[in-house]
Structure 1
């Protein structure tokens, strides 16, 4: 009888609490895991109704972690970050909610304390309760006692603040840092193979989805009030893709003509590959390469949704002999791996996971990539170098070093009004309600 009962009985697995799950995500990030990866693993285990709040808390805790850490140092004699990282993360979750979410304080404290059971730290209930209530009672006094330095007030690592100031001056650096803490807007790229932007704007208006045309991109639309991507009309049919306005400049800057051979190096997750094919469906061939087979799966998904068929290849682009057939390309796009300092507002864990020493290593790699690809470009061919960094070490300095050793390279001016002109290209900065930070330099082979 017992065997029959066990085979037929359905046991419901307990759904973890949203705050306990938030603590697990934050603990993972503080241990070196990316926010996106950790959140994607844990999000599906939480009740559907709690998933949006889980995401908001995790992004918020990461975005403001440096400031929250300073607050916890005021509230506790010894940090729990090393001995009890999950409790430390749970306190971070509680402080963030009390500071920046419109939820009743008593509900925040009660639910955060209760989460101790879920993370198997019931003994810590009294501690968590005491710390959060102390902050609730003395929030203004504690915040007033914090260091007034921008690293604490705007929650940015000191090394990054120094780099921003040295590169762009005090005033612009402050604006960059401030905008990094404002979540970026949802921006769509309309698919001209499906329909034009004006028609899609009318579709959004009929559904009472507030939107506006982007300032510079002729195919971009900014959604004014964020909505879940699965509610974007005709998204599954390929009418639009999610892509920031700054990234939408890549395909037009390549100036691709019918019948040309094009290479998209480091192509994942495929936004620019798909935009190239939407914009110029009559190219002879587009080869899209990425070193990661797993990331290429995402390119396949995007292309399939848009009814596009790019030629995808998993390869190390520096090992040219393993993938190039010796037929030179007319156009090459290198969206190089970078620090991501132009998209911190979308990836706030960059502030926690990146180190100053990373920048030199990245610049070395970027120069290697350009140098490896340059021989595959046809004479009079165009090479577009792009990053989502706002640090000159990864942008103008890389191009300068490349041109010093390659006398057959010349700058092809980018005559646009967006961003600011630099010695070798154009730099965009993250702007509130507008585009992310991005860099472009365009070269021609003599």
Structure 2
């Protein structure tokens, strides 16, 4: 609920005085410059366009927001749009209760109503000012005929939102703004942790950094952050991790441009230690973009490892190169489908392979709330089939005695231990490798039949990640 309200009154008039304090006649005033729109209307209109791109066109939030990167109010647009997407599945049903024919409302207008409802319910803005801005935003969107609808619906929402949301909140999925299928899958897999996971999905994620410990140390870097007036604390169980009290622009981070530090969730930082690449080894990062784990492997093992970083998308492969350049690291970056080994593999086996597989991203919803609107239940079997195919291709490139690390940012067993079970059945030369028990890996991590799971909302405070280590024997070859 809003905790503060903006004043409806105008600014107090000021007087002009000479230096002795004697009033003097003020200069003639020019007519006040009037803006054509209510304050906040352009940001609401832009946010509505972005939300509609996600809801109606299925585009990612990042793609939808990219069109507004040069806007003067881009920070407000981003905050409003992502907040609305986060709570869309709670707000939209409440608004539907106020519409005679919800299906007859165009996507852009419906998105405008929802972004305005988000500002009314979840921001500190004056509800009345938000309604006024939304009416002008409708005009900016070319929906002049919808101004009356916006005014009437939103004024009713202001007056009745407590009762409206109470009706919506009788069911867990809309109360937590999740699609029913995700709630059902999480409740089935994690019955005790389900409430905490859903709550964490709606929280704002921390900004955690990964230090290059070959070039700096954590104590020294915390001092540098303090000198830059950035509050931070170490993550005790992740040696290279520092979490900021409040997110900041990366341009403010000491040493970011020089590659001393990267932004990476503490849970993701477990990959390189589990992979355990050592000097002299040949390493494959099979689904490498944007390159954070590739760089971490190089930071931990040093330059005396040969790393091949593969990604199927040329644009994302370019991100790997950009990140490695900033971090002063080098690897062979290849654009290829890792399942088509003939397209890129020279036949020399790898001692270590990391498969950070494409997945539902159900463990990182707090960072990407559009997952709630874009992902479908029917996506999961297709993703699991793709994950298994990638793993089987990786197994064929792994040397006997080598280690394969499988990771996802999913909390769904169908993409995690169930995929590993199918892999072990199909590839008898693979076996589960020893890895730390869940509680030793990270606070609150859970041991599974194969591997370990970190959950959003658990003690570690990380995103949701799954890890499983495998080794290749000579059996079955």
TM-score tier (shorter): over 0.9
1:202 to 223, 244, 248: 223
Once residues 107 and 217 of structure 2 are traced to their aligned partners in structure 1, the CA distance between those partners, rounded to angstroms, is: 51
Q: Unaligned stretches of 5+ in structure 1?
A: 1-13
SS in structure 1 of the partner of residue 50 of structure 2: helix
Is 1:67 aligned to 2:94, yes or no? Answer: no
SS in 2 for 1:401: helix
Question: Secondary structure at 1:55's aligned position in 2?
Answer: helix
The match for 2:143 among 115, 121, 130 is 121
Q: Secondary structure at the match of 2:210?
A: strand
User: How far, CA to CA, are the matches of 2:332 and 2:121 in structure 1?
Assistant: 49
Do 1:43 and 1:54's aligned partners in 2 also have CA atoms closer than 8 Å?
A: no
Matching of residues 26-425 of structure 1 within 5 Å: 26-31=51-56, 32-44=58-70, 46-47=71-72, 50-80=73-103, 83-169=105-191, 171-416=192-437, 417=440, 418=442, 419-425=445-451
Q: Once the 2 structures are TM-superposed, how far is the Cα of residue 95 of structure 1 from its aligned partner?
A: 0.2
CA deviation digits over 1:149-179, x for unaligned, max 9?
A: 110110111111111111111x211111111
Aligned in 2, Cα 1:383/1:37: closer, same or farther, shift over 3 Å? same
SS of 1:17's equivalent in the other structure is helix
How many residues align structurally?
Answer: 428
- Shift in Å at residue 83 of structure 1? 4.9
Work out whether residues 48 and 115 of structure 2, in 8 Å CA contact, stay in contact via their aligned partners in 1. yes
Offset at residue 278 of structure 1 (A)? 1.1
Q: TM-score, normalised by structure 2?
A: 0.87
CA contact (8 A) 2:41 2:136 kept: no
Maintained 8 Å contact 2:456/2:462: yes
Structure of greater Rg: 2
Stretch deviating more after TM superposition (407-416 or 171-180): 407-416
Q: SS of the residue aligned with 1:54?
A: helix
Shift of 1:331: 0.1
How far did residue 147 of structure 1 move? 4.2
TM-score (structure 1 length as normaliser) = 0.93
* SS of structure 1 residue aligned to 2:388: helix
- Indicate the SS of the match to 1:326: coil
Alpha-carbon distance between aligned partners in 2 of 1:28 and 1:71, rounded to the nearest angstrom: 21
**Which stretch of structure 1 is more off in the superposition, 396-405 or 433-442?**
433-442
Shift of the alpha carbon at 1:16? 8.7
Matches of 1:28 and 1:183, distance apart in 2: 22
Q: Which runs of 4+ in 1 moved over 4 A?
A: none
Cα pair 1:261 1:283 within 8 Å, conserved: no
Does structure 2 conserve the Cα–Cα contact (< 8 Å) formed by 1:413 and 1:425? no
> 2:68·2:74 contact (CA, 8 Å) conserved in 1?
no
Structure 2 residue 48 is the aligned partner of structure 1 residue 23: yes
Task: State the alpha-carbon separation in 2 of the partners of residues 183 and 205 from structure 1.
Answer: 23
- Compare 288-297 and 136-145 and name the one that shifted more: 136-145
Once residues 352 and 390 of structure 2 are traced to their aligned partners in structure 1, the CA distance between those partners, rounded to angstroms, is: 15
3-state secondary structure, aligned to 2:68? helix
Alpha-carbon distance between aligned partners in 1 of 2:66 and 2:208, rounded to the nearest angstrom: 21
- Would you say the 8 A contact 2:41–2:134 is kept in 1? no
Distance in 2 (CA, whole Å) between partners of 1:184 and 1:406 is 38
Deviations 1:40-96 (A, max 9, x none): 22232x21xx2222111111111111101111111111115x651100010011000
Q: Mean Cα displacement is larger for which, 334-343 or 213-222?
A: 213-222
Q: Over aligned residues, Cα RMSD in angstroms?
A: 1.6
Question: For the residues of structure 1 that align with 2:134 and 2:89, how far apart are their CA atoms?
Answer: 20
How far is the alpha carbon of 1:387 from its aligned partner?
A: 0.3
Distance 1:398 1:41 in 2: 38
Determine whether 1:426 maps to 2:447.
Answer: no
Mean CA deviation greater in 14-23 or 211-220:
14-23
Hey, what's the Cα distance between the residues in 2 that align with 1:387 and 1:162? 20
Pick the structure with more helix per residue.
1
Indicate conservation of the 8 Å contact 2:199/2:457, yes or no: no
Runs (5+) with no aligned partner, structure 2? 1-36
Does structure 1 conserve the Cα–Cα contact (< 8 Å) formed by 2:298 and 2:305? no
Equivalent-residue separation in structure 1 for 2:186 and 2:399 (angstroms): 37
Cα displacement string for residues 133-153 of structure 1 (whole angstroms, at most 9, x for unaligned residues): 111112222222324111011
